[in-house]
Amino acid sequence: MDAFKLMKELRVNYEQEVQYLPKETGLSLIESTTQDDSRISAKCRDAKVEDLWSLTSFFGYSTQTFVLAVNLLDRFLAMMRIQPKHLSCVSLSCLHMAAKVTEEECNLTPTDELIRIGQCRFTVSDLSRMEKIVAEKLNFKSKAITALTFLHLYHQITLTHSTDRKEKLNLEKLEAQLKACLCRISFSKAKPSVLALSLLRQEIEAVQSEDMLEIASHIQRHLKIADGELLLWSERVAQCLSDYASPECSKPNHRKLQWIVSRRTAQNLHTYRSVPELPTIPEGCWDESESEDSCEDMMSSGEESLSSSLGSDAEGPFFPLHFRCQKHRQHLRQHLHA
C-alpha cells in the first residue's frame, strides 16, 4: 500500500475509533469498586485479561484475537453491571467471538475444549447464550478499531518513509508491549490512536532514530493529537513497561500452561485426550456418529487464574533493557543523594 492510501486509511480509522471505545464512566466505576463489593473490580478485570493472554498463547491465537477480545470485554463491562461469578463466562465468550472473526476456521478451538482448558464451570450452551448477549449489547458484527489497528498502520507508515534502521523497529515487540498495557484497565481509557503512538515513540526513542521520530511527529500533526495528551500516555506507557521489566514483577516463562488438578479431573482429561485403537472401516461404510462429553462433570478444579504463565511474548526480550537500566540509574541517584 502506498503512502497516500496509508494516510487516508489512518484518517478514516481515527475518525471512527470513538465508536469502539468503552464508556469512560463505566471504566471509572470499575476502578472505584473494591474487592469486597458485588461488582467487578479493576483487579478482577486485570486478572481475567491476563488469563485471556494465557489462553491466546496456549491456543496459538494471534495478537489481533487477544486485543479484540479485550476490547469486547471492556466495552461490555463498562456498559453492563455483572457479578464476579459471571466474569469467566463473559471473558471466554469475548475470546471465542474474537477468534471466530480473526482466526482461520481450521484453527478455531472447539467450544467444549475452550471451556475445559479455561477451567470454567459453565456449559457450551451457557457460552453460546452469553455470546449472543454480548453481540446484541455491543451491536457487534465483525470488526473493531483498536490500538493494534493503529500500531500496524503506524509501523507501515514509518517503514515506508524511513531509511534509517528499518530492521530495528520490531512489530512483534510492539505488539507484546501493547498486550502488557492492556492488562491494566487504565489503558482502556486511552484513545487507541494515542496509545499506539505512545508505544511507537517509546520504541523509536529506544533505537535512537531521528528519522523515525520525525515521522512519528508528522503522524501526530496529521491526526491533530495534542502534545499534552500524547505526553500523558507516553509517561504511563513508560511506567507500565518499566514496572513490567523490574525484578519485582512476576515474570512468566516459556513453559506450557500448568494446573494443579484433582485426580478425578486428571482422569477425565486423560480420557478426553486418549486416542483409542480404531477398528478397520469396511469399504463403502462410514459411521458419522460421535459422542460429546458434558463439560459440567469434567471441570472439578474450579476457575483458578491462569496468569501465572503467560505467553512467551511476555518475556524480557520485548521489554527492553533500557527500561531496567533507567530504573537502576534512578535507584543509584536516590542512593547517592540520600
Same domain, yes or no, for 113 and 166?
Answer: no
Same domain, yes or no, for 48 and 126?
Answer: yes
Total domain count, the chain: 2
Same domain, yes or no, for 49 and 153?
Answer: no
Predicted confidence band of residue 138 (pLDDT cuts 50, 70, 90): very high
**Predicted TM-score (pTM) above 0.85:** no
Predicted confidence band of residue 294 (pLDDT cuts 50, 70, 90): very low
Same domain, yes or no, for 89 and 155?
Answer: no
Rounded CA-CA distance 161/153 in Å is 12
Same domain, yes or no, for 30 and 100?
Answer: yes
Task: Tell me whether residue 309 is in a domain.
Answer: no
Same domain, yes or no, for 68 and 119?
Answer: yes
Task: Tell me whether residue 308 is in a domain.
Answer: no
Same domain, yes or no, for 174 and 90?
Answer: no
pLDDT digits (tens, 9 = 90+) for 27-52: 999 999 887 667 889 999 999 999 99
Same domain, yes or no, for 116 and 79?
Answer: yes
Residue-range definition of the domain harbouring residue 127: 21-136
Task: Tell me whether residue 27 is in a domain.
Answer: yes
Residues in the chain: 338
Same domain, yes or no, for 158 and 243?
Answer: yes
Question: Grid coordinates standing for 258?
Answer: 500448568
pLDDT digits (tens, 9 = 90+) for 300-336: 334 444 544 444 555 555 554 444 444 444 544 444 4
Same domain, yes or no, for 129 and 167?
Answer: no
pLDDT digits (tens, 9 = 90+) for 58-101: 999 999 999 999 999 999 999 998 888 899 999 999 999 999 99
Largest CA distance in the chain: 86
Task: Tell me whether residue 227 is in a domain.
Answer: yes
Amino acid residing at 275: V
Single out the residue of 241, 91, 102 nearest to residue 173, CA to CA.
241
Those residues with Cβ within 8 angstroms of residue 29's Cβ, 6 or more apart along the chain or in another chain: 39, 78
Please tell me which residue, 210 or 336, carries the higher pLDDT value.
Answer: 210
Mean pLDDT within 234-250: 82
Domain boundary among 113, 136, 159: 136
Q: What is the pLDDT of residue 256?
A: 47
Q: What is the pLDDT of residue 162?
A: 73
Q: What is the pLDDT of residue 69?
A: 97
Environment class of 211 (CB within 10 Å of its CB; exposed 0-12, middle 13-18, buried 19+):
middle
The answer to whether residue 120 scores a pLDDT higher than 50 is yes
Q: What is the pLDDT of residue 143?
A: 86
Single out the residue of 330, 329, 314 nearest to residue 51, CA to CA.
314
Task: Tell me whether residue 15 is in a domain.
Answer: no
pLDDT digits (tens, 9 = 90+) for 264-284: 766 665 554 444 444 444 444
Task: Tell me whether residue 270 is in a domain.
Answer: no
CATH classification at residue 41: 1.10.472.10
Domain boundary among 107, 136, 165: 136
Mean pLDDT within 183-203: 95
DSSP string, 80-116: S---GGGHHHHHHHHHHHHHHHHS-GGGPPPHHHHHH
Mean pLDDT within 1-28: 91
Mean pLDDT within 147-162: 91
Taking a C-beta distance cutoff of 8 angstroms, is the pair 150, 196 a contact? Answer: yes
Task: Tell me whether residue 278 is in a domain.
Answer: no
Q: What is the pLDDT of residue 226?
A: 96
Same domain, yes or no, for 168 and 236?
Answer: yes
Same domain, yes or no, for 118 and 29?
Answer: yes
Domain boundary among 252, 281, 299: 252
Query: Between the CA of residue 129 and those of 104, 133, 251, 285, what are the distances in Å?
Result: 23, 6, 35, 37
Task: Tell me whether residue 188 is in a domain.
Answer: yes
Rounded CA-CA distance 211/69 in Å is 35
